[in-house]
Each structure stands twice: as structure tokens, then as C-alpha cells.
Structure 1
Amino acid sequence: MLKEKLEDYIGYNFKDTSLLELAITHPSFAREQATPDLNYQRLEFLGDAVLSCIISESLYNLFPHYREGAMARARSALTKGKFLTQLSKSLHVMDFIRVSEVEKKAGGNTRNAALEDALESIIGAIFLDSGFEQTRSVVLNWYGDIDTHLNELLINENPKGILQEKYPHGSIKYELISESGPPHSRIFCVRLLVNNSIVGIGVGPTKKEAEEVAAQQALLMEPQQTRPNG
């Protein structure tokens, strides 16, 4: 019943349900059951490669102006870290990961690494169950509007780097406007100038963070131009 509920969440019904069972089996649970090899690690390896291929193909088709370097950064943003963790959470994967009792008490089924690994394992399981075309359809349904996701991810992950790619070297300038607060809790205010025009203002607990906020603000004013060119 639980597996059927997970199938509802991910939008795919397995022909071979043992693949799904394996895809949600954490190594700690397998060891606890004295079946150490019956865990999701091999499926995770496969799913990681399949996901990379699906997103690579999508980026190639969606953004013909992207160069190799830009596509690599975009793929990384969409297949690793925070985005993959949030995607896994949105599909309720954490509610179904089988972990050992010790691991469960330590919150092992909610750790980001476990959420990412289990989602990749599910992708690998779908691939073995139905092949690439069906897997691509399921995964892209999870992702929805890749263009919008990518825009938000790149702005949040590396705003200063994107600005540097958008404008010639030397045309970007961060100026400290003010620094206030006690020594243990400083507040920095920075303004960002591009070609001598103020395009953003940021506030943060460090000068670096204030600069990042200012860069994000500038990029959000022109979301259609935030993607890297190569």
C-alpha cells in the first residue's frame, strides 16, 4: 500500500515492484536485514547517469545558444544539491525511504544526501522497468518548466559570477555604503554599479553576502538576461 502511494506521488506504476522496493532501501536497512548488497546504491549509480542524460538533452534542445561550459553549469544546478533535494521532498520520497532503526532515530531518511540518492535510485529503477523514453517523460513531468527553474537557480547560486559573465571585466563595481552594528553583529550595505549606473543595493552580515544580495537584485530586474552564455 505504501509503495502504491509512492507510485501515485512520482506518477509512475512499476511493472516490477521489486525495483521500487530496492530503490527505497538505504544501505543501513539492508545491513540491518543481513542483506547488505540489497540496497539502492547500484540503482543510484544508474539513475544519476540517466538523469544527467535527460537534463543534458533537454538543455541542448531548449537553449541552442548555450556553449558547453554553460550547459555543464546548468546541468549541475538542475541535477545536484538543493534543487534535487527539494524535488525529492516535493515527491514525498522521505516518507518511504527504508532505513535502519538507528538511522531512523538519527533522522537518516530526511538527510539531503539520502533524499538525493533515493530519487536517483527511483530514476534508475524506472529506467530498468520501462526504458529511457518513459523515464524521460516521468522525470520531465517532475521538473516542469526547466527554463524558470534554471533562471532562479543560477541567480541564487552564483549571482556575482553571472554578472561577471554578462558584462566586460572592469565594468562591475561594488561600493560599501555603510557598516553598522556591534562587532559581533555587523550589518553591511553595498551598492552595485554597472557601467557607472546603480543597478542593485544589498544588505547582509558580511560584505560578501551584501554584494551577493545586490547582484541578485540586479539580475532579478532583468531575468531574461541572467543565463550564462558559455
Structure 2
Amino acid sequence: MSALEQVIGHTFRNPALLQLALTHGSVGYENQRPQADNQRLEFLGDAVLQLALSHLLYTQQEEADEGVLTKARAQLVSTKALARQARQMSLGAFLIMGRGEEANGGRDRDSALADALEAVAGAIYLDAGSEAALAFATHLFSTDLLALERGPLERNPKGDLQEQIQAVSPIPPQYLIISEEGPDHSKSFLSTVSWKGTLLGQGTGRSKKEAETRAAQAALDNPVLAEVLRTACERLSE
């Protein structure tokens, strides 16, 4: 674990916290006996990173309004973004997981890597407090925060929408081009995006891709999405 501690820039007073942060839920499932895993630390670490990034963005982006800050934070702590950060520190190599999960590519799965990184943040907070957690977040997001000073990070609304939906269901969102107008050199397309029969958003663009991207962004901004996902999550837990 000392090699990982050097990478994350924190030496644990209680090394058991780091070991717990790296323990995937598949260990207990495979052994068919109670086994502490990183899910509770993941819950804590999510809040730790959200608060640390809120502080960093607030102090760095002095001219940004609430909406801009919220979108930047959401982008930085998305599953895909956190998984990328985890890969950069080779976190997957340190995960403790069941053999079946590992054989199925668990060490490089976005969700497992993002969850473990959040758990590490939670473990650092418990081990040394908020200042250590803030230092970890500052180190972790330094490159992305520097990029934000030069301009907004690249957005991927279609990817963000699919990621949110895949968290509760394997069924992907459905895009449909419902109209196109204008001459060939200056067409305008209208796209809708739906999920399981519920219309989430629509958008127009000069290409089908642009129209679908704008439809996805409209869906992300639509309060209906949160309600649909919440209902699906409740059904999943029943």
C-alpha cells in the first residue's frame, strides 16, 4: 500500500481505512459470507469530493455563476471522469476483488474505479480530516482545474445522459430524427430523445449529430429525467 500512498500523496495513520477503500463488494459475494467493503466509504467520499471541488471552484472561478459552477463540478466528478483519474494512478491494480469480477474486467470497469476513488477520498477524510481531503482533491483535479481557467471543459451530453440511465437500467436512451428542413447545403434537423416511452428532450441542429447532442442536453436539463431515474432506481431496489 505504500506505493499507492505515494501516488495519492497521503500516508495513512490507519492503513485499514485504505484497505477498506480498495475492497470491492464482489469479495463478500464470492465468499458467501459477510465482508466489509468500500460502499459506505464511497458514499462518504462522494460528499467529500463534492465539497472539496465546490470550495476549489468557488475560489478559482470568481466570475462564474451557480449554474456554471454546478455543471463544472458535475463534469469533474462524473463516473467517467473519476475513472480516468483512477487509471492515471493505476488504482485498478490495487483493488481487492473477487476472482470472478476480476476475470470479467472489473479492475478496469469505470464504475469500480470511480467508486474506489471516492472511497479513498472518504478514507482520507476519516484518517486526517477535511484539510487532508482538500489537499487530495487539489492534487487529483489540478490538471482539470487548470484547464477550466482556459475555458470550459469539453461537454458530452449524449455520454452524460447514457451514463445516468445506465446506472439504473441496461436499456439505452432512444434518439429519433423526426424532421428535416431546408436545402441540402443548409439543412436543419429536429431530434427527440426518449427512454422507455418517456420523452426527455428535443433539439435542433445543422446535422443529425448536433440535433441529437442538443436533445441530450435538453434531457439533462429536464426535471422529468430526475423523476424517471428515481422511479427506476426504486423499482430496481424492490
TM-score (norm 2): 0.64
What SS is found at the alignment partner of 1:155? coil
**Pairing 1:92-107 to 2, within 5 Å after superposition:** 92-107=90-105
8 A contact 1:94–1:115 mirrored in 2: yes
Q: CA deviation at 1:60?
A: 0.9
Provide the aligned C-alpha RMSD in A. 2.9
1:38 aligns with 36
Q: Could you tell which deviates more after superposition, 133-142 or 116-125?
A: 133-142
What SS is found at the alignment partner of 1:15? coil
Take 1:81 and 1:125, find their aligned partners in 2: how far apart are those partners? 19
Q: CA deviation at 1:74?
A: 0.8
Of 59, 62, 77, which aligns to 1:61? 59
2:154 aligns with 155
Q: CA deviation at 1:142?
A: 1.7
Of 138, 142, 145, which aligns to 1:144? 142
Take 2:50 and 2:183, find their aligned partners in 1: how far apart are those partners? 40
Q: CA deviation at 1:157?
A: 2.4
8 A contact 1:28–1:100 mirrored in 2: yes
Letter in 2 for 1:61: T
8 A contact 1:44–1:120 mirrored in 2: yes
Alignment of 1:118 with 2:116, yes or no, is yes
1:208 aligns with 208
Q: CA deviation at 1:140?
A: 0.6
Letter in 2 for 1:24: L
Letter in 2 for 1:129: D
Take 1:19 and 1:78, find their aligned partners in 2: how far apart are those partners? 24
Q: Which has the larger radius of gyration?
A: 1
Of 47, 51, 59, which aligns to 2:49? 51
What SS is found at the alignment partner of 1:14? coil
8 A contact 2:21–2:119 mirrored in 1: yes
2:78 aligns with 80
Q: Could you tell which deviates more after superposition, 62-71 or 142-151?
A: 142-151
Q: CA deviation at 1:30?
A: 2.7
8 A contact 1:47–1:122 mirrored in 2: yes
8 A contact 2:45–2:121 mirrored in 1: yes
What SS is found at the alignment partner of 2:154? helix
Call closer, same or farther: CA 1:98–1:178 in 2, change over 3 Å. Answer: farther
What SS is found at the alignment partner of 2:153? helix
8 A contact 2:42–2:118 mirrored in 1: yes
1:12 aligns with 10
Q: Could you tell which deviates more after superposition, 46-55 or 24-33?
A: 24-33
Is there any run of 5+ residues in structure 1 with no aligned partner, and where? 159-173, 180-205, 214-230
**Pairing 1:182-221 to 2, within 5 Å after superposition:** 207-209=207-209
2:23 aligns with 25
Take 1:144 and 1:37, find their aligned partners in 2: how far apart are those partners? 35
Take 1:92 and 1:78, find their aligned partners in 2: how far apart are those partners? 19
Aligned length: 171
Alignment of 1:71 with 2:87, yes or no, is no
8 A contact 1:78–1:150 mirrored in 2: no
Take 2:183 and 2:154, find their aligned partners in 1: how far apart are those partners? 20
Call closer, same or farther: CA 1:209–1:46 in 2, change over 3 Å. Answer: same
Take 1:54 and 1:209, find their aligned partners in 2: how far apart are those partners? 35
Letter in 1 for 2:153: L
TM-score (norm 1): 0.66
Letter in 2 for 1:123: A
Take 2:118 and 2:65, find their aligned partners in 1: how far apart are those partners? 26
**Greater RCO, CA 8 A, separation 6+:** 1
Take 1:7 and 1:177, find their aligned partners in 2: how far apart are those partners? 57
Q: CA deviation at 1:58?
A: 0.9
